[in-house]
Chain A
Amino acid sequence: MSTITRRPKPVNSKTPQPSETDIHAVIRKGLSGPVDDSTNIEEAQVKLRLPAALLRRVDAAVKAQTIKTPRHRWLIEAIVEKLGRESV
């Protein structure tokens, strides 16, 4: 084994880490998809009360998907579909 090695390159441990706010700002500069409300700068929150049985049906539908999507996206897709049908 050689006794001569290259001098280690200095590592700047003070390199600032971007904040989640910075990261989201960069992401939001990209175009949004048709069901992607999560990238809008203004994000509204709504408390949704559902009968437990209806939520179980939603979860069953989410679970039964051939291609999995999170429940959050499934609900957004359902809303967008209804808005599309009613041309709102």
Chain B
Amino acid sequence: MIVVAGGTKGGSGKTTIATNLAIMRAALGRDVLLIDADDQESASDFTVLRNERETVEAKYTIIKLTGVAVRTETQRLKSKYDDVVIDAGGRDTASQRAALTVADVLLVPFVPRSYDIWTLEKVTTLVREIRSINPSLRAYTFLNRADANGPDNDDAAEVLRESEELTFLDTAIGYRKAFGKAAAQGLAVTELKPLDEKAIHEMQALFRAVFSMKPASRATVTSRMQVESV
């Protein structure tokens, strides 16, 4: 499966999502390729830090790619790995578009704040455009860095549910220091000691939601294309 953590807003936690999913997948014995297609190269920095640790067990391969090469290299390499996870960064870049042309799944984390939610329209337009190239792309939103309480999570979720192009996943990930602590050590939150049970539970719920998805059937894809062309 080719999974892209993307969107058009920085700071929503895409690298955290991409690295955690890659590590959790590798921990199951899968051969995982992590592609850092973000100019900020945070996933690469994270991996350098991780590789300096001698005790980590879940290993993955990482490469840095930009532009059209994200598409061509992913196409070339996908058969050599069980899963490919792409950190596409937080802008509408050629790299992100190239990733989406070959992806199975797009995950767009949204922080429950107005500036973040306002980017939904741009993401929707991007997904619609990409589906003219890659009609089988499944696109999902979810809340990341969600509040512990208050109405903002529900308000943001209500807006995200309205999207016709992106499906809202009800697997919110809270704003928890465990994610920052884990990243600072080159670890997934599932590897951090002491354990943060809530953070692990939330990340595992997202993980299950993503990797239990079945590929879109050709009939479904064709049907959607016909509806879109009406």
Give A residues with C-beta under 8 Å from B.
8-12, 15, 18, 22-24, 26-39, 66-70, 72-73
Contact = CB atoms under 8 A, between A and B. Distances in A.
A72 to B, nearest CB: 7
A15 B221 CA distance: 10
Which 7 pairs across A and B sit closest by C-beta, in order of nearness?
Answer: A39-B94, A30-B94, A38-B67, A36-B67, A9-B219, A36-B66, A30-B97
Interface of B: 36, 39, 41, 44, 47-48, 51, 61-69, 71, 73, 91-98, 101, 129-130, 132-133, 135, 218-220, 222-223, 225-226
Given A11-B222, A38-B67, A72-B69, A33 B95 contact: yes
A37 to B, nearest CB: 8
A27 B64 contact: no
Contacts of B92: 30-31
A60 B129 CA distance: 40
A27 B101 contact: yes
A8 B219 contact: yes
Contact of A28 (B94, B132, B218): B94
B39 A27 contact: no
A35 B51 CA distance: 25
Nearest to B44: A67
Contact of B68 (A22, A38, A68): A38
Given A30-B95, A68-B62, A73 B69 contact: yes
27 contacts: A9-B223, A10-B222, A11-B219, A15-B222, A15-B225, A22-B133, A24-B68, A26-B101, A26-B129, A27-B67, A29-B94, A29-B97, A31-B91, A32-B67, A33-B39, A33-B67, A34-B39, A35-B66, A36-B67, A36-B95, A66-B47, A68-B61, A68-B62, A68-B63, A68-B64, A69-B65, A70-B63
Residue among A18, A37, A67 with the most chain B CB within 10 A? A67
A67 B219 contact: no
A29 B98 CA distance: 10
Contacts of A15: 135, 222, 225
Contact of B66 (A22, A38, A66): A38
A22 to B, nearest CB: 7
